Amino acid sequence: MNSKRLYDLINMDSAEGLLHETETILQMVFPGYDASPVIKAFQDTMCLYAGEYPGYQACSTGYHDFQHCGETLLAMSRLAHGAAAEGIRFPIPALELGLIAALMHDAGYVQEKDDSIGAGGKHTATHVRRSMDFAAHYGRQNSFTADAIIACQAMISCTDLEADSDAIAWPSRDVELLGKMLATADLLAQLADRAHLEKLFYLYQEFQEGMVRGYNSAEDLLRKTIDFYSLADNRFKNKLESIDRFMAAHFMQRWGIQDDLYRIAIDNEKAYLLNIMRHEDQEMRRRLRRKGIVEKLSNGKNN
């Protein structure tokens, strides 16, 4: 029986580790592949979130941060590898665009330099559209064709939980599959994050800033997250063509592991959440210790 967990394979907290593993996987799919466009986009996105990209401030959202972008990139490269192992291969230019879209799918949370009001969470309702706009801006700066920009924007649009993937004007079947792969990777990266439950306290801050209704407290958001697991599974199956199934082939090909470690991580997280939900708010907080997130927020620190 496999005893490996998702976080045993690489250091998921390391940007360098996430990029290196992505490059390794791409070489498995396309031996000899020159990953420089993906590497450049990774570095540019890291600069964007660090406040070093012209015209933009540093990222101010703790949930939708650069680590999530990197984890989404890795999850998408793993899905693409698993798909290739099962005979579904994408043209290199299309896959490159998909990976760039993965990096930039939440860029809309990052504020412009002249935006002095509030924090990035205020863009919660419009962040997908803003991310699409940033992708177009980035594409023009890097000589993407108009068709490439449209394809990248279509993929990003699929990450909107309110979007009907069947209603998106997909320019091709490859772009449609990659868009659904990105939407799948986005959800998997969030839910399998080792500190996801703790990061929900950051998400609650973003929801407050963005005036998202329906949650009375971070603990209320935690309790209601139980329903989100079912929503995600339904979305995987009914709107995203069960693309998450490709993870199993990836782990077998890359690591010789017969299990989908994302599914195991998510199931373990859900079980832990069900366990701590039996307790009062203060005890729930005490049982969420990873990365010291909840403790820092309780002491009035945002990061």
Q: What is the domain-level CATH number for residue 186?
A: 1.10.1300
pTM of the complete model: 0.97
Asked if pLDDT for residue 1 goes beyond 60, the answer is no
CA–CA distance, 40 with 178 (Å, rounded to integer): 20
Tell me which residue range forms the domain holding 120: 12-298
CA–CA distance, 250 with 256 (Å, rounded to integer): 9
**HSE, side-chain direction, 13 A CA sphere, residue 140:** 5
Alpha carbon separation from 168 to 84, 159, 232, 262 (Å, rounded): 24, 11, 19, 27
The whole-number average pLDDT for the span 200-215 is 97
CB within 8 A of 41, min separation 6: which ones? 99, 100, 103, 104, 138
DSSP 279: S
Structure tokens at 74: 């890795």
pLDDT digits (tens, 9 = 90+) for 252-279: 999 999 999 999 999 999 999 999 999 9
Looking at residue 2, what is its pLDDT? 72
Structural domain contains residue 3: no
CB within 8 A of 272, min separation 6: which ones? 197
Q: Is 56 helix (H, G, I), strand (E, B) or coil?
A: strand
Bridge partners (DSSP) of residue 112 are: 56
- Higher per-residue pLDDT: 66 or 296: 66
- Higher per-residue pLDDT: 249 or 300: 249
Structural domain contains residue 100: yes
The whole-number average pLDDT for the span 144-167 is 96
pLDDT digits (tens, 9 = 90+) for 75-93: 999 999 999 999 999 999 9
Structural domain contains residue 231: yes
Largest CA distance in the chain: 55
Bridge partners (DSSP) of residue 56 are: 112
Looking at residue 301, what is its pLDDT? 63
Looking at residue 103, what is its pLDDT? 98
Asked if pLDDT for residue 298 goes beyond 90, the answer is no
Structural domain contains residue 124: yes
Asked if pLDDT for residue 300 goes beyond 90, the answer is no
Report the chain's C-alpha Rg in angstroms: 19
Structural domain contains residue 69: yes
The whole-number average pLDDT for the span 124-141 is 98
List the alpha helices (DSSP H) in the chain: 6-9, 15-29, 36-50, 66-85, 92-104, 127-141, 146-157, 173-192, 196-209, 218-238, 246-255, 261-276, 281-286, 293-298
CA–CA distance, 108 with 124 (Å, rounded to integer): 8
Q: How many domains in the chain?
A: 1
The whole-number average pLDDT for the span 162-178 is 95
Structural domain contains residue 303: no
Structural domain contains residue 1: no
Looking at residue 187, what is its pLDDT? 98
- Residue 303 — pLDDT band, cuts 50, 70, 90? low
Structural domain contains residue 186: yes
The whole-number average pLDDT for the span 219-244 is 97
- Higher per-residue pLDDT: 198 or 4: 198
Structure tokens at 40: 């450049």
